[in-house]
Amino acid sequence: MGRRRRGRAVHGILLVDKPAGGSSNAVLQRVRRSLNAAKAGHAGTLDPLATGMLPVLLGEATKFASYLISSRKAYEATLRLGIETDSLDADGEVVSERPVPALTREDLETAVAALRGTQQQVPPMVSAIKANGERLYKLAREGREVERQARQIEVEEFEILEIKLPELRVRVRCSKGTYIRVLGADLGNALGCGAHVTALRRIWVAPFEGQAMVSPADIEIGGEALLLPMDAGLAHLSRVQLDAAGVQAFRHGHAVPAALMASKPDQIAVGSGRPVTEGAGLGADEPLRVCDPQGGIIGLGAVQRAAPLHIRPIKVLQLESETA
């Protein structure tokens, strides 16, 4: 017999306000236990030092993780100039100290401006990236350093919020895979004195800009009432509704012809609300939300270009009840 999964079938999204001092996985497990949820995952890891938005996906919502992890993010950080650490943040050991020069706002703005835009960034050794199957932070704990490949990132915004030398408070809006610790160290090097991050808060993860977060303590009290719908982060995707027969075919992994759509093929609703005639404007691999006649999401699909128009499944949600 297969191993029975523990917990209940809880489906949805929580925008958790991660506290400082614990790992993202520790926060995830606390949330999962609070809801007695059988399955949970998170979209995008935060360092133990960091606080802020950690999207936690529960149940079948975990199937949408890859559509959130690629998102843009925004942070606020405090940088301490003049001191460098081996982890590039306050959790590491000090490796060098240098005097902070008499910097003007113009000096700081010039250095910050040079770090905006598309660039190559080498991940830090203290990170969750794997090298030859091992996490870099584990290798770093053993005193080992390995070569890391630079990755392309984009820093859309890098602004100075407050200057209280030797500290700076900054705001960064950036692409997936950007390490604010590395960006802070790069700024310190450009200023000739080094720097490390002493505080870091993730303000939002796209597409959840401006949305309220809930603390792990809030979740222990409020429970499932705090859940967002499974497709809360997918409003930017096109949407199509199927009739009952179409729903059954889709759930069994079959491509669904236009005849089984609840609305006409020329009424596929895109994120902007503009109809798409016969799937025009939708790429063959572009995902769209597939819903039942009541509007509930049942998975993600894509337009199958061979005539006549079909919607083929990409992700199919299995929402049958699970017992504890």
Question: How much is the pLDDT for 267?
Answer: 47
Contact 133, 146 (CB under 8 A): no
What is the total count of domains within the chain?
3
Q: Which residues are catalytic?
A: 47
pLDDT in tens, 228-270: 999 998 888 888 888 888 899 999 999 888 666 655 444 444 3
Whether residue 118 sits in one domain with residue 201? yes
Domain hosting 35: range is 12-70+208-226
Please, what's the b/e burial string for 269-295 (b: 16 or more CB within 10 A of its CB; e: otherwise)? bbeeeeebeebeebeeeebbbbbbeee
Regarding whether 245 and 214 lie in a shared domain, the answer is no
55-59, 65-69, 103-107, 180-184: range with lowest mean pLDDT:
65-69
Looking at the domain assignment, is residue 324 inside a domain?
A: no
Q: Give the pLDDT confidence of 143-195 residue by residue, as tens digits.
A: 666 667 889 999 999 999 999 999 999 999 999 889 999 999 999 999 999 99
The predicted pLDDT at position 132 comes to 63
Domain-embedded: residue 321: no
Claim to verify: residue 86 and residue 182 sit in the same structural domain: yes
- 207: cis peptide before it, omega within 30°? yes
- Residues 81 and 198 occupy one common structural domain: yes
Tell me what pLDDT residue 304 has.
Answer: 75
Q: Are residues 296 and 198 in the same domain?
A: no
Q: Is the same domain home to 119 and 165? A: yes
**CATH number of the domain bearing residue 262:** 2.30.130.10
**Which of 242 and 75 is assigned the larger pLDDT?**
75
Q: Say how many CA atoms lie within 13 Å of 224 toward its Cβ.
A: 11
Length of the chain measured in residues = 324
Do residue 167 and residue 282 come from a single domain?
A: no
Question: Is 45 domain-assigned?
Answer: yes
Percent of the chain residues past pLDDT 70, beyond the cut: 80
- pLDDT per position as a tens digit, 291-323: 888 889 999 998 876 667 788 899 999 886 443
Q: Are residues 192 and 142 in the same domain?
A: yes
Spatial separation of the C-alpha atoms in residues 40 and 64, rounded to whole Å: 12
Question: What are the pLDDT digits (tens) for 3-24?
Answer: 555 789 999 999 999 999 989 9
| Pair (132, 116) in one structural domain | yes
Whether the predicted model's global pTM rises above the 0.75 cut? yes
What does the pLDDT average to over 119-135? 73
Give the whole-angstrom CA distance, residue 176 versus residue 300: 22
Residues 30 and 130 in one domain: no
Which CATH number do you get for residue 191?
Answer: 3.30.2350.10
Classify each residue of 52-74 as buried b or exposed e, where b means 16 or more C-beta atoms within 10 Å of its C-beta.
Answer: bbbbbbbbbbbbbbebbbebbbb
Q: Evaluate whether residue 292 is within a structural domain.
A: yes
In the chain, % of residues over pLDDT 90: 59
